[in-house]
Structure 1
Amino acid sequence: MRGGWLGRIGRGFVHVLLVFAIALSALWIGFCLYFQLPFGDAGRTIAIAGWALFAIAVIVLTFSRRKWPASACYVVAVLVFGAWWSTILPSNDRDWAPDVAHSVSGTVDGDIVTLHNVRNFGWRTDEDFTPRWETRTYDLSQIKSVDLILAYWAGPTIAHTIVTFGFENGDHVSFSAEIRREKTQAFSAIAGFFRVFTLVLVAADERDVVHLRTNVRKEDVYLYPLGMPKAGMRALFLSYVDAGNALNAAPKFYNTLTTNCTTVVFRLIRALDPGLPVDYRILISGHLPSYVFDHQGYQTGLSYEEFRRRAAISALGLAAGDSPDFSSAIRPPTGLFVPRDLKYP
């Protein structure tokens, strides 16, 4: 009797797991069909409705003696879907939106790095701008700073991440991992899970990529200097050059969770310092400042609240306008803090 009850409980638990697995996978496949089928709205609606009815029928049959044949049919359907899904590949050859029309590439000759397709747009609005793509040269022996810039565009938990490098002559260049949209596409965080967008690495002048967020989009923007020795700055800069060249050679899909602006930055920095721990704040980018405060070795003497307050640059960006001295204007002359050098290889 006791063994019988335990057996029933065990079979019931397995059945619940089976139904949950079918329902969850059917939902995910439904989203994939919605974002990827090329049949138009009516065709997609019919296909998704058919898929939903099939999944519901399989779930209902799991409560009958036909449980395993129904499950086997569902597995076959999933395998067919997987074969089709594997044919959806990223590409660099599309009719791209103007701001992501080019991905940065670079060549290295000793200390001299030449970056091709550095974006330097003159932004008036998101739709009204003067496009400029430039070739610029940087001397890595003159590199002097690395800053992390966070632009909050959707509340306190979501921020776009930018890393910017400063040089002794006053030049700054920023790297921003972004969604590469086609001209007809609009951003969708949900679509970003389903192979809709590719990843692009944009190199840009700060009067482009930062000014766009402080002055045009009126986002809440913060700048945090990162403490590392020159060898680390150089290695990080070169890792961005390598990443840009790699994306030009072999495109990758953007993924809202696993391959986005923040996770790309984290992977590059962690390649320099493997001791940096994985943390939920890497995925929830709006909380990166507390990660920086906890793990980047800053000796500020500040509370976390004051640390963040001093990093705010939106008002400085608005005051600077389109000034040629925009980069120096958004950096308070006293600095945010005195960093302790991290030990990068």
Structure 2
Amino acid sequence: MRAFLALLVLGACAWGAMALGYRCPGPAPVRYLVIALWVGLGVAAVIALLRVRAGVPLKGWPLGFLIAMVVLAGWWQTIRPSNDRVWATDVAQRLTSHVDGSHVTLHNVRNFEWRTATDFTPRWETREYDLDNLVSADLVLSYWMGPAIAHTLVSFGFSDGKRVVFSIEIRKKQGQRFSAVGGFFKDFEATLVAADERDILRVRSNVRGETTYLYRLNIPPNALRQVFLGYLERAEELDSEPAWYNTLTSNCTTIVFEIARLIAPGLPLDYRLLLSGYFAEYAYDQGGLTPGFTYAQLQERGNFVQRALAAGDSPAFSTRIREGVPGEDPKVTP
């Protein structure tokens, strides 16, 4: 029992050290001192737990660590997300929308012209869409950290040729860089970006050199509108009540799953919801991708990096990256 308690203290000590490392206020020397005191208290509590004799009540260092843990947890709850910070340019604006019947107006649709990751021309636009013309949704996975981790985006297509991509992203402050570990410790707020494909897809495939795949989602026409409006509802929530981005529980993949569950409540939980690089395979197993093809075929034909590089900033970028993609290109058959 004491060994089990020692493991719990060790885990809490590690969590607290990282939480203090990311969020402890004050200059670096003060932060390092606080972390050192915290770790010292935790180690002393572990040693005391392992040395104490059976039947002897806990006191001293273990009790002191428990009190410190309660104080740390109370302080942690006071750290609240905000929409009012000095944000990085690419996440500076918040998506807002107005829905009037089938007519949707989106404000702050991102349409940047990217030359490099740091050299770009910002453009935030107001765009209008008719939900009666909504005909398709495509799942896009962009790999930047090995096969298990990918960024998840959904692109909606309309019969009049319009497209818009929705993406839950970290809302970086100016000068801040993404950290998967920091995403566990309230280091980033979440934001929902709506963007033109020549911005948000091309920057990943052509500028950042990420490996990108596109899959046509097998969503019934009557459910497409629900999925689209689900994104707008999430954007409204984030606009009125900011929220933390969490690497595990509130990220680019979990929102897709949450919205899909509104339509099909029986969707099972799966490890591939956490390892987002395998999310397309999960969608395939649930019948969520173009039928009649193997997953390997969909993956091979969905890789659009070379097509994106060839298309460049062409006005036909969206059409060209979909050449050969099952469900989009009528010439492609099983």
Q: TM-score, normalising length from structure 1?
A: 0.91
Distance, in Å, in 2 between the alignment partners of 1:22 and 1:192 is 23
| Alpha-carbon shift at residue 167 of structure 1 (Å) | 0.4
- Cα RMSD over matched residues? 1.4
Partner of 1:29: 16
Partner of 1:266: 257
Distance, in Å, in 2 between the alignment partners of 1:299 and 1:97 is 37
Contact 2:140 2:213 in 1 (8 A): yes
CA displacement 1:244-296 (0-9 Å, x = unmatched):
01100000000111111111211112122112211110110111121122112
Partner of 2:268: 277
Contact 1:61 1:67 in 2 (8 A): no
**Compared with structure 1, are the counterparts of its residues 192 and 209 closer, same or farther at alpha carbon in structure 2 (3 Å cutoff)?**
same
Moved more, 159-168 or 228-237: 228-237
Distance, in Å, in 2 between the alignment partners of 1:210 and 1:299 is 21
Amino acid at match of 1:207: R
Residue 164 (structure 1) aligned to one of 155, 177, 192: 155
Distance, in Å, in 1 between the alignment partners of 2:44 and 2:267 is 48
Contact 2:214 2:325 in 1 (8 A): no
| Alpha-carbon shift at residue 298 of structure 1 (Å) | 4.8
Question: Given the alignment of the two structures, is residue 68 of structure 1 paired with residue 58 of structure 2, yes or no?
Answer: yes
Q: Structure 1 unaligned segments of length 5 or more: list them.
A: 1-13, 339-345
Amino acid at match of 2:66: V
CA displacement 1:226-260 (0-9 Å, x = unmatched):
11122211011111111101100000000111111
Partner of 1:10: none
| Alpha-carbon shift at residue 86 of structure 1 (Å) | 0.8
| Alpha-carbon shift at residue 67 of structure 1 (Å) | 5.5
Distance, in Å, in 2 between the alignment partners of 1:317 and 1:20 is 50
Distance, in Å, in 1 between the alignment partners of 2:76 and 2:159 is 49
**Compared with structure 1, are the counterparts of its residues 27 and 149 closer, same or farther at alpha carbon in structure 2 (3 Å cutoff)?**
same
Contact 1:176 1:203 in 2 (8 A): yes
Distance, in Å, in 1 between the alignment partners of 2:131 and 2:34 is 55
Contact 1:179 1:199 in 2 (8 A): yes
Stretches (4+) displaced over 6 A = none
Partner of 2:102: 111
Distance, in Å, in 2 between the alignment partners of 1:278 and 1:83 is 31
Question: Given the alignment of the two structures, is residue 234 of structure 1 paired with residue 225 of structure 2, yes or no?
Answer: yes
Contact 1:192 1:255 in 2 (8 A): yes
Partner of 2:114: 123
* Seq. identity, %: 45
**Is the radius of gyration larger for structure 1 or structure 2?**
1
| Alpha-carbon shift at residue 305 of structure 1 (Å) | 1.9
Amino acid at match of 2:212: V
Question: Given the alignment of the two structures, is residue 181 of structure 1 paired with residue 169 of structure 2, yes or no?
Answer: no
Alignment partner of 1:187: what SS?
coil
**Compared with structure 1, are the counterparts of its residues 126 and 17 closer, same or farther at alpha carbon in structure 2 (3 Å cutoff)?**
same
Alignment partner of 2:59: what SS?
helix
Map residues 274-313 of structure 1 onto 2, 5 A cutoff. 274-298=265-289, 300-313=291-304
Contact 2:164 2:196 in 1 (8 A): yes
CA displacement 1:106-134 (0-9 Å, x = unmatched):
11000001111100000001100000001
Residue 81 (structure 1) aligned to one of 72, 81, 89: 72
Distance, in Å, in 1 between the alignment partners of 2:226 and 2:38 is 49
Alignment partner of 1:202: what SS?
strand
Contact 2:102 2:132 in 1 (8 A): yes
Alignment partner of 1:68: what SS?
coil
Partner of 2:332: none
Alignment partner of 1:322: what SS?
coil
Q: TM-score, normalising length from structure 2?
A: 0.94
Distance, in Å, in 1 between the alignment partners of 2:96 and 2:249 is 23
Alignment partner of 1:200: what SS?
strand
**Compared with structure 1, are the counterparts of its residues 296 and 33 closer, same or farther at alpha carbon in structure 2 (3 Å cutoff)?**
same
Question: Given the alignment of the two structures, is residue 148 of structure 1 paired with residue 139 of structure 2, yes or no?
Answer: yes
Q: Structure 2 unaligned segments of length 5 or more: list them.
A: 329-334
Partner of 2:28: 41
Residue 256 (structure 1) aligned to one of 228, 247, 255: 247
| Alpha-carbon shift at residue 92 of structure 1 (Å) | 0.2
Partner of 1:102: 93
Moved more, 55-64 or 114-123: 55-64
Question: Given the alignment of the two structures, is residue 15 of structure 1 paired with residue 18 of structure 2, yes or no?
Answer: no
